[in-house]
Structure 1
Amino acid sequence: MCYGCYKEAGEPKIFSGLVMVAAAMAKEIDNYGAFHIVVDDMNIEDHHLEYCIEHAEATEAEIEFGRLMLTMDEDARMSALALADGMWSMSLKV
Structure 2
Amino acid sequence: LSEGQIIPDLSISHNLQSLMHQHEFPIFYLSLFLRHVANTNPQNIINISCKQMQNFHGQMHLLKSEIDRWKKGNFAIVFLGPDEKRVKKL
Do the structures match in fold with TM over 0.5? no
Higher-Rg member (1/2): 2
Higher RCO (CA-CA < 8 Å; seq separation 6+): 1
TM, length-normalised to structure 1: 0.24
TM, length-normalised to structure 2: 0.24
**Is the helix fraction higher in 1 or 2?**
1
